[in-house]
A and B are shown apart, each in its own frame.
Chain A
Amino acid sequence: MSAADTSTVKKTGRKFDANLLRRRVKLSLAHGFVLTLVVIMLLPLVYMVMMSFKTSTEIAQNPLGLPKSLYWGNYMEALSSMGYVRSVLNSLFVTLSVIVVVVFAGAMAAYPLARIKSRASQLIVMIMALGLATPNFVTITPIYVIFRELGLLDTYLGIVLAFAALKLPLAVFFYTGFIAAIPIELEEAARLDNCNNWQIFWHVIRPLLAPVTATLSLFVMIMVWNDFIYPLLLLTDKNKLTVMISVYKFVGNTGIDPTKLFPAAVLGSIPLLLLFAVFQRKIMSGATAGAVK
């Protein structure tokens, strides 16, 4: 190796160093910038939590200040009248059941729709689109009447079906897109082994669906947790009500009192956020992947 060579190596090395430094600074600036933006996005939620600890006077006179003291009175009052644990467990149970129904019915329907391109399948896709486009309030009365006929009122089964129906069109769309992207060769191999449709679906397709399922689970979770019209409409047994109904008790007919609503809202949302925090890696790593594939 000649001297000239080493000098160029040295030179590029130094240049590289400067570049590296520049890149490092740029990178940490970028990190700082994005984190600042993210924190700004979270401020309204911080505002809610702060309001939940304040007294009325503090909210009005010092809206941005920290609460003078952590005034737990708001929380105690909310907790004592919420039936908290029971309703959280109900929400969890209903959420899980809805996920099961949505995932099975959705994935099963999507399989043929992804594989067969015929008039019939296109028509069915159109019908599913109708479900996606329908505003929820249109369906309230007919659903009640049907449930009454079927004896589904005030049952877990009823509320699970009602919620599942709301997310089913979306599930079908997601799964259809996802399954269409799965190479057909996988199935053809199985078919040569004399597998029937169900076996192929169960052993070949189903194991690949985890990312979409994660996405849908998240949507279902959010919906079941926050909807209160269906539980109000379909359930009368207090022991079956979901957690949002407990929060709803703090919304008056003639407006709201922030010192009462926000503690209850925070309490109602915490289990969902915890659930999300625990599973977020799992949920988010595949999240919405299905939609995009």
Chain B
Amino acid sequence: MNKTLVAAAAILVGIGGSAQAMTDLDVVAWKGNVAQPAGLPELIKRFEEQNPDIKVDLSYVSRKDVDKVVPPRLQSGNPPDVTMVDASLVALWGGAGFLSDLGEDHDWYKKMLPSVKKVMTLDGKVLAYPLEIVGMGNFVNMDLLKKAGIDKAPVTIDELKTACTALADKGISPMIFSGGFSAMLYVGANGINPKGPSPAEFGNGDLKFADDPNYNAALDSVRDLVAAKCFDPKLQAALDPWATAPQAFRSGTVAMLPHGAWNISDFAKVDGLNFEFAPMPSSFSKDGLALDLVGPGWAIPKDAAHAEAARKWIEFFAKPENLNVFLSVENAYSPYSGDATPPPKFSGPYTAARKAGDSILWPFSNEEFPKQLQSEWENSLTGFLLNLDKPNKDTLDRWDESVEDNL
């Protein structure tokens, strides 16, 4: 009698349990859409196979719109179970106490690169599982370079100037240099001395951009590029870096494009586009300077309804065989030491520079420079390109003022 009761109860519980056990994991990310799949469709399939009781519901929200769509959900206690975050969101949402502590006792935490650790933790709490380090550098169309008699991607300023002049003489447009992005990368690579003071000291106002010889030299060096016929500054100053600029490189009409590695998979699909992703030519190094960007990570909001399943999601990504799928589609580097990650495709010169230690973390990606400074860089560099004759101080003062404003 008792036995049958127990059995019946067990069956009931079993049925109830299995009916309840189907968990919908609500994930918000700014990758995984058609424009940038990041291997997520494949990984979700794999995750669901390994966790038959969890169904992943991925909502794509672009990075810009995450700022509008997610905070209301966090504040009203109805957040997604997992959300993508970057350094600024870790600081903002984590600082306001809306992200849960993932804990330090994971293997992945122990392997995390120290520079990334600094970004993903706050007040001793581990708030995000970082997914990638993305390179920013110089895309080079090797076929066009060959036409100008050069067969190696330029990595020093001199090589760059030589290449520009040779290309221009052949009637090939050498380089995209939009003030809104490409110019920032170049100025960053020549202004931020890897062996000098930390960018954070400029970002918090201790040091002044205007007094720094490197930033001054970086702006002068832009003038040198113009003299070497790299680009027409007035024409390119306000070029849209996100739509028309990559389109120009994609179509093979321009030889070089300083931009981010997220374009690699897209460019790779273009028939007949033979390109390499190289580090930014820099006066600080003979291999060029790799500008590493701390990419996004996964975070679990404090009030997540399915925190258990969310942790499984993160554990799943922590397995190298899974993370590598993501990294290989993203053409990114692992933020963990010791993992055997195949190097990104088309990125030989960039990877070489990283190996040689010629890399910096992009200070806009780890909060060393305040967010406000980024738009000031974009605007002021556009203004600088429109009028190269004005003294460097005009431009650099604006950066210092922006930092001051932010304090």
List chain A positions with a Cβ less than 8 A from chain B.
56-57, 59-61, 77-78, 81, 137, 140-141, 144-145, 148, 153, 229, 232-233, 236, 238, 248-258, 260
Q: Do B75 and A141 touch across chains, with their CB atoms under 8 A apart? A: yes
| 6 A-B pairs with C-beta separation under 8 A | A145-B72, A148-B78, A232-B68, A236-B26, A255-B243, A260-B34
Q: A233-B69, A253-B30, A258-B247 are in contact. List 19 more A-B contacts (CB 8 A).
A: A56-B251, A56-B270, A57-B251, A59-B251, A60-B251, A141-B71, A141-B75, A144-B73, A145-B76, A148-B76, A229-B68, A233-B68, A236-B26, A250-B34, A253-B31, A254-B242, A254-B262, A256-B243, A257-B246
Taking a contact as CB atoms closer than 8 A, the residue among B71, B77, B242, B253 that contacts A255 in the complex is B242
Across the A-B interface, how many residue pairs have beta carbons closer than 8 Å? 96
**Segment from B55-63, B94-102, B121-129 that makes contact with A:** B55-63
Question: Nearest A residue to B37 by beta-carbon distance?
Answer: A81
Question: Nearest B residue to A81 by beta-carbon distance?
Answer: B34
Chain B residues within an 8 Å CB radius of A153:
78
Query: With A and B bound together, what is the CA distance between A56 and B250 in angstroms?
Result: 7
Q: Given that A56-B247, A60-B251, A258-B243 are contacting pairs, would A250 and B71 also be in contact in the complex, using a CB cutoff of 8 Å?
A: no
Q: Do A144 and B250 touch across chains, with their CB atoms under 8 A apart? A: no
Q: Do A59 and B247 touch across chains, with their CB atoms under 8 A apart? A: yes
Chain A nearest CB from B224 CB (Å) reads 28
Chain A nearest CB from B228 CB (Å) reads 24
Q: Given that A145-B75, A255-B242 are contacting pairs, would A250 and B61 also be in contact in the complex, using a CB cutoff of 8 Å?
A: no
Chain A nearest CB from B182 CB (Å) reads 13
Chain A nearest CB from B113 CB (Å) reads 23
Query: With A and B bound together, what is the CA distance between A99 and B116 in angstroms?
Result: 51
Count of interface residues, chain B, beta-carbon cutoff 8 Å: 42
Q: Do A256 and B35 touch across chains, with their CB atoms under 8 A apart? A: yes
Query: With A and B bound together, what is the CA distance between A137 and B77 in angstroms?
Result: 21
Chain A residues within an 8 Å CB radius of B57:
236, 238
Chain B nearest CB from A65 CB (Å) reads 13
Chain B residues within an 8 Å CB radius of A59:
247, 251
Query: With A and B bound together, what is the CA distance between A81 and B33 in angstroms?
Result: 9
Q: Do B35 and A250 touch across chains, with their CB atoms under 8 A apart? A: yes
Taking a contact as CB atoms closer than 8 A, the residue among B31, B73, B253, B263 that contacts A60 in the complex is B253
Query: With A and B bound together, what is the CA distance between A25 and B179 in angstroms?
Result: 54
In the complex, whether B252 has a CB less than 8 A from a CB of chain A is yes
Query: With A and B bound together, what is the CA distance between A144 and B74 in angstroms?
Result: 11
Q: Do A249 and B251 touch across chains, with their CB atoms under 8 A apart? A: no
Chain B contacts with A in 67-87, Cβ cutoff 8 A: 68-69, 71-73, 75-78
Q: Do A61 and B68 touch across chains, with their CB atoms under 8 A apart? A: no
Q: Given that A141-B75, A256-B242, A257-B266 are contacting pairs, would A251 and B35 also be in contact in the complex, using a CB cutoff of 8 Å?
A: yes
Q: Do A137 and B68 touch across chains, with their CB atoms under 8 A apart? A: yes
Q: Do B65 and A232 touch across chains, with their CB atoms under 8 A apart? A: yes
Chain A nearest CB from B358 CB (Å) reads 24
Query: With A and B bound together, what is the CA distance between A238 and B59 in angstroms?
Result: 8
Chain A nearest CB from B327 CB (Å) reads 17
In the complex, whether B260 has a CB less than 8 A from a CB of chain A is yes
Chain B nearest CB from A46 CB (Å) reads 19
